[in-house]
Amino acid sequence: MFRIRLIYLCFILIGLSSCNQDSKKQLPIYNPVDFKPKLVDKSVRNVSKNHTVADFSLTNQNGNNITNKDYENKIYVVDFFFTSCPSICPIMTNNMVKIQDEFINSDDIMLLSMSVTPEIDNVQVLKKYAIEKGVNDSKWNITTGPKKHIYELARKSYFAVVEQGDGGLQDFIHTPNFILIDTKKQIRGIYDGTDENEISRLLADIKILKG
């Protein structure tokens, strides 16, 4: 009987140890060298440590200037979209709404969407889109801005696209990626914004970062 109790106790201790390890799970910190080279601008491709996303200055759906200061000490998810996209963007936006709703009461979780057709997606267009999609203005900024600035962010900070380009008139990016950024401006995960399983993984990872 004593032996049986001892074995039972061992199982309990192993279970508790496993749970403790799960609670302490850490997400990786991604640097440019951790991505496929084709996703990374050549100028930063060999960077192996201390990568943080660059400062930004954009205009949101309310005509307000939005900068990295608005996301200071926040965990946030970034995507690149355009309002007239008939294929992947509606799915991505619906999934961003799911993230918004999951963390609606968490002030430290935010969302950031950048239009890849900023010359078309002006403030009026973005406002209409935001209202139609149920965007919470205090949590989620849908933004426009200089095309070169947005495309440079995509290629040199968030590594969201495969194609190389200069952000000029003929340059165009289209990506399903959601990028998870922590409070230190580090990349902690990349997810397919059109895949339900990936969204579930993203939600779980956000909770890990929240602690």
Q: Residue 7: pLDDT above 70?
A: no
pLDDT level of residue 3 (50, 70, 90 thresholds): low
Torsions phi, psi of 183, nearest 5? -70, -15
Task: Give 122's Cβ-side CA count (13 Å radius).
Answer: 3
Domain enclosing residue 80, as ranges: 28-210
User: pLDDT for 146-197, tens place per residue?
Assistant: 999 998 999 899 988 655 444 444 334 678 899 999 999 999 999 999 999 9
C-alpha 112/C-alpha 69 separation (Å) is 13
Q: 141 φ, ψ to 5°?
A: -100, 120
Residue-level pLDDT at 37: 80
CATH number of the domain encompassing residue 158: 3.40.30.10
How many domains is the chain partitioned into structurally? Answer: 1
pLDDT at 18 over 50: no
Contact between 24 and 18 (Cβ < 8 Å): no
Per the domain annotation, does 17 fall within a domain? no
The C-alpha angle 112, 159, 109, rounded to 5 degrees, equals 30
Q: What pLDDT does residue 155 have?
A: 87
Asked if residue 198 is part of any domain, the answer here is yes
Tell whether 21 is covered by a domain.
no
Average pLDDT for 41-67:
94
- Inform me whether the pLDDT recorded for 16 exceeds 70: no
Contact by Cβ (8 Å): 62, 142: no
Amino acid at 14: I
Average pLDDT score over the chain: 86
> What's the whole-number mean pLDDT along residues 61-68?
98
Q: Is 5 part of any domain?
A: no
Edge-first strand listing for the sheet containing 177-181: 140-143, 109-115, 75-81, 177-181, 187-192
> Does the residue 110 lie in any domain?
yes
12 part of a folded domain = no
Do the domain assignments include residue 173? yes
